[in-house]
């Protein structure tokens, strides 16, 4: 079965007449452990133009398989301009250094060469998925501008991604706080959304573990605010009040579109982490 044949959307995207050369618009693709999703972003508002398009992450999530899936999403929108792509990985000088929740064959891959072979686009920016989400929240979320000090954004999903923001939204790239040891397990094996689902935990049980992780981050970084994103943030009213750590926490404003929006921002800016 081809990657394109497994596509799922909440609704079939309506045709949109967008000039890829118009600086108001950009294209982002967010590669996750369970799904690859992308769409056209209106950079004046930080919102998607029409619906996103999503395809299940291929298994195994090898570089070629993922690149083919990204190509299918870009082709779905007939986009020919620059494309921003997130990976659940540390990306330095275009080279993938880690592989969290994707195939280990990514490690050492030249991401720009890879996507250049499979995706028809004017150019690319490839960056860490949580960094992209952090950039989007900093610009459009409305929660970072007035904070003096460190803000930590976490994406709670298959793993735990992190973005450290400071001085009103400047990014410290490629942090991997989900891989820090907390007690006898790394953070994302203790408190990711997947762990809650796999163990059929109540929100109260999961919030206890998440609080422990957040308390460890407090010791190391003394943040002024946590912003918590990922799909589970849609139900934050069920678990946010149950957290017991000291630092205030707020749900992400952009929720699960933040990666797409941040990728599009990075593509328009021509960033090359």
Query: pLDDT, tens digit, for every residue of 207-236?
Result: 999 999 999 999 999 999 999 998 899 999
pLDDT confidence of residue 167: 83
**127 and 18 both lie in a single domain:** yes
Has residue 10 got a pLDDT over 60? no
Q: What is the pTM of this model?
A: 0.87
> Is 234 inside a domain boundary?
yes
Among candidate residues 144, 128, 126, the one with its CA nearest the CA of residue 253: 144
> Is 141 inside a domain boundary?
no
> Is 61 inside a domain boundary?
yes
Q: How far apart are CA 162 and CA 141, in angstroms?
A: 16
Q: How far apart are CA 102 and CA 217, in angstroms?
A: 25
The residue range of the domain holding 37 is 4-131+258-269
**pLDDT, tens digit (0-9, with 9 covering 90-100), for 169-218:** 889 999 999 999 999 999 999 999 999 999 999 999 999 999 999 999 99
pLDDT average, residue stretch 113-118: 97
**15 and 93 both lie in a single domain:** yes
> Is 124 inside a domain boundary?
yes
Query: CATH number, domain at 121?
Result: 3.30.420.40
pLDDT average, residue stretch 107-122: 96
């Amino acid at each position: 079965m081809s990657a394109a044949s497994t596509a799922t959307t909440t609704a079939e995207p309506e045709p949109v007449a967008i000039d890829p050369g118009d600086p108001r618009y950009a294209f982002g693709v967010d590669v996750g452990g369970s799904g690859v999703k992308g769409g056209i972003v209106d950079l004046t508002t930080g919102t998607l133009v029409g619906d996103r398009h999503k395809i299940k992450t291929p298994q195994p999530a090898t570089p070629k398989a993922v690149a083919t899936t990204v190509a299918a999403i870009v082709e779905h929108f007939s986009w020919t301009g620059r494309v921003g792509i997130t990976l659940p990985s540390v990306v330095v000088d275009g080279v993938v250094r880690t592989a969290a929740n994707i195939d280990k064959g990514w490690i050492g891959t030249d991401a720009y060469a890879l996507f250049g072979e499979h995706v028809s686009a004017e150019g690319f920016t490839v960056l860490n998925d949580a960094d992209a989400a952090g950039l989007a929240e900093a610009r459009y979320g409305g929660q970072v501008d007035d904070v003096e000090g460190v803000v930590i954004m976490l994406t709670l999903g298959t793993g735990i991604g992190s973005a450290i923001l400071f001085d009103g939204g400047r990014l410290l790239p490629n942090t991997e706080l989900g891989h820090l040891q907390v007690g006898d397990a790394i953070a994302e094996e203790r408190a990711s959304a997947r762990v809650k689902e796999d163990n059929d935990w109540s929100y109260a049980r999961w919030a206890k573990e998440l609080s422990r992780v957040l308390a460890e981050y407090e010791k190391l970084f003394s943040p002024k605010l946590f912003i918590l994103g990922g799909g589970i943030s849609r139900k934050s009213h069920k678990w946010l009040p149950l957290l017991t750590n000291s630092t205030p926490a707020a749900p992400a404003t952009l929720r699960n579109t933040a990666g797409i929006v941040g990728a599009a921002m990075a593509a328009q800016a021509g960033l090359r982490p």
